Structure 1
C-alpha cells in the first residue's frame, strides 16, 4: 500500500512522465515456474507487453501507435542513413550489430511504458518475476515456445532468447530503481 507521501510522490511522477491512462491492456498470464519463480507470459497483441499492442506514445517529436511501428520506423530511418549504414558494414561482430536494434527497441519500450499508466502499473506488478513472450515463430524476441506449450514453466528448456522479455525486465528494474 502507498502512504500519502508515496501517493503524492507517485502523482508528481506520473505528471512528470506525462502518463496517459488507457485501460485496454490485458495483463500477462502469471504461472509458477519449476524453480518456484513467478513467470509472466504474454503472447497476444491484446496484452500491453506485446509490440503490436496499440497505444500511443511520443518519442523524437513523433507519435506512434505501437512499439512495432516505432521499431520499424527507426529501422527505416537507420537504413536510410548512408553514413550509419557504412558503419554497420564495417562491424564484423553480429552481436554488436544486434545491439543496435536492441537499444532501439528498449527506447521504444521506455516511451511506451512511461507514457501509459496502465502499462506502467502492469509492468511494476510483475515484481521480480520473469517476463517472457511466448511465440514459436521468433527465436530472438521470444522464448521460442507456443503459448500453449506444456514447458513454459521451465526456462531452462526454452528454445528462444526471450530478448523482449529481458528488455522488459531491464526496463522494470530501471523504473523501480530510478523512480521509486
Structure 2
C-alpha cells in the first residue's frame, strides 16, 4: 500500500508543524522521517520513527493534506526510491503485489501484470464512508474529487492509466466481484 507511505509522510509533516501547502518547506523536511512499510500481506504495518501510524494516517486531517504533500517532487523521489527497493528485494524471493496510484506508470513500469482499478467518485465515497464508520458521504466525495484533480494534474508522476494495464471499472462491483475479475 504505497498510499500509506504518502499518508505517513503527511502525518509526520502535520505532527511537526510543517505547512503542507508550502512545497519548499515539505521538500526541506521530507528526508527526516524514518518510514517503514511492512510487506506481510496478512499483517500490513506502517510506522514512522518506530511509531505505528496505521490508524493515525487514516484520519480526516491526513486525508485533507496528503495530495499537496504527495505532489512535492522531493517527496515522490524519496518514496518512489523506497518502493522500488522493496520491490527489488521482493522479486528476489516470492514476488510482491504492490498497490498505489502510480505503480505501473512510474514506480515499476516493467511490472509483469498491471491492473488499473477505477470507480466513480460517488461509489468510492460511499465505500470510504463505510470504511470510516459512517463519515459524511458528500464531504468524502468532494474530497476524493479534489484529490483526483490534484493527482491527475501534478507535474511529477500524474495519475494516469499505465501503458499495458488492464482497466477494470469497479463502480458496480462488490469487493469479492472485483477480486474475481482481477484473478
Q: Which band: TM-score by shorter chain?
A: under 0.3
If each structure's helix is expressed as a fraction of its own residues, which one has the higher value? Answer: 2
TM-score normalised by L of structure 2: 0.23
| Superposition TM-score, scaled by structure 1 size | 0.23
